[in-house]
Amino acid sequence: MFSCVGYAASSATAPLQPFSFERRDCGPHDVQIDITHCGVCHSDIHTVRSEWGESAYPCVPGHEIIGRVVKTGAEISRFKTGDLVGVGCMVNSCRHCPSCDAGLEQYCDSSPTWTYNSPDTAFPTAGAHTYGGYSGSVVVDSHFVLRVPENLDPAAAAPLLCAGITTWSPLAHWKVGKGHKVGVVGLGGLGHMAVKFAVALGAEVTLFTTSPSKVEDGKRLGAHRVVISKDAKAMEAEANRFDFILDAVSAEHDINAYLALLRQDGHMVLVGLPEKPMSVGAFALVGKRRSLAGSAIGGIQETQEMLDFCGKHNITADIERIRIDEVNEAYERVLRSDVKYRFVIDMATLPKAA
Ligand code: NAP
Ligand code: ZN
Ligand code: ZN
């Protein structure tokens, strides 16, 4: 075991503060990574504040991890010291259920081991819970370590590990591409990546935002059209238009208003995870054989495919770099939808000791 410094919350109402804890030593199948950057996902805030159920404390969040390999296990030949790598939302899974066999570890029947706030199964930390990427280093089974193209800015690549794959996976699964009319709801960390990917895949993209101040940014990011979702008349004019709508909103909102915008047989996919259940009017689905689905991050293989695509097309997130001691203020800004469009923590600003 070795000592590691991170930032943790001690309860649902406590701010994040410096925290010292132990990481396991690099085992034969592991990769040890010095973390250089970590994105701030809205899921970090939901979890730190126990919005999805009681979290385990101390809670060290962070699952948009970028860093350099500093050690590899005896059985590892795929990675070497110095490689630029990433770790997303998962650090393990059962590896033999139908979902794992299909490369969709995020849907593992036994539940994956999430990067933070998840029961740890690795020796000798089993029985504790996992600690995430707001920390100096991490040891991860090599299957869950991603190769990050060296041509990408490491800080701006960090959000690809969650916001990127979470929006890429449904676009790929529902085969979104040329000739499709796509709606993206909410211009936050996930939403801005959805706009970039849907545009890169050749779709005609309409952004729905509650924030008039984001119209110009939406267009700069590539959206062909922007609709202010609080404008009832403008929303009505979009009825029956869309093949596919991706909803990346973090808070309670009226999803029926968007179902009405799908054409016959159109799909609406939720990636946002509001704290409270939302109601669905049956008529909105039945009337035009529309579907409503959900999607969680993406499998390891498709995450690698997404990163390779980003390397080839030079796609990264639009980020605001912060110091680790600015993270509590950053949470408040995310809650006000005031981030362009992802905070990324520079891990060089971590204190040497807690
Ligand atoms: P974010 O950066 O905070 O973006 C959320 C956006 O939703 C905001 O920028 C805002 O966009 C819109 N919004 C916020 N409050 C709203 C309200 N009351 N009514 C309508 N729109 C509102 O969050 P994020 O990191 O992108 O995450 C979004 C959601 O996805 C979170 O719930 C997160 O936990 C979840 N998530 C899910 C997965 C998955 O695997 N499915 C993975 C990662 C994250 P506008 O200003 O443009 O309206
Ligand atoms: Zn996330
Ligand atoms: Zn499994």
CA of 242 to the centre of ligand 1 (A): 21
If 0-12 CB within 10 Å is exposed, 13-18 middle and 19+ buried, where does residue 313 land? exposed
- The confidence score (pLDDT) of residue 262 equals 98
The phi and psi torsions of 99 (rounded to 5 degrees) equal: -70, -45
- The confidence score (pLDDT) of residue 106 equals 98
Distances (CA, A) of 346 to 2, 156, 190, 234, 340: 22, 11, 20, 41, 16
- The confidence score (pLDDT) of residue 155 equals 98
Atom of ligand 1 nearest to the CA of 191: 26
- Ligand nearest to the backbone CA of 93: 3
- The confidence score (pLDDT) of residue 151 equals 98
- The confidence score (pLDDT) of residue 144 equals 98
How do the residues of the chain divide into helix, strand and coil, expressed in percent and rounded to 5?
30, 30, 45
Residue 64 Ramachandran class (φ > 0 left, ψ -120 to 50 alpha, else beta): beta
Question: Measuring from each residue's beta carbon to the nearest atom of ligand 1, which residues come in under 6 Å?
Answer: 41-43, 46, 162-163, 166, 186-191, 209-211, 214, 248-251, 253, 271-273, 295-297, 334, 337, 339
Q: What is the dihedral of CA 305, 139, 75, 91, to 10 degrees?
A: -50
Show the tokens assigned to 83. 């490689």
**Ion ligand 3 contact residues with beta carbon within 5 A:** 93-94, 97, 100, 108
If 0-12 CB within 10 Å is exposed, 13-18 middle and 19+ buried, where does residue 64 land? buried
Atom of ligand 1 nearest to the CA of 252: 18
CA of 67 to the centre of ligand 1 (A): 26
User: What residue spans of the chain are helical by DSSP H?
Assistant: 42-48, 98-101, 154-157, 163-173, 189-200, 215-220, 232-236, 256-259, 282-286, 300-313, 327-335
Mutate to test the pocket of ligand 1, among 55, 193, 249, 258 (most ligand atoms within 8 A of CB): 249
Residue 351 to residue 354: CA distance in whole angstroms? 7
Atom of ligand 1 nearest to the CA of 270: 41
Strands (E), the chain: 2-8, 17-23, 30-39, 65-72, 84-87, 90-92, 113-114, 137-141, 146-147, 181-185, 204-209, 225-228, 242-247, 262-270, 291-294, 319-322, 342-346
- Ligand nearest to the backbone CA of 334: 1
Average pLDDT per consecutive 10 residues, the chain (354 residues; last block may be shorter): 98 98 98 98 98 97 98 97 98 98 98 97 92 98 98 98 98 98 98 98 98 97 98 98 98 97 98 95 96 98 98 98 98 97 98 93
- The confidence score (pLDDT) of residue 191 equals 98
Atom of ligand 1 nearest to the CA of 208: 47
Show the tokens assigned to 336. 């006000």
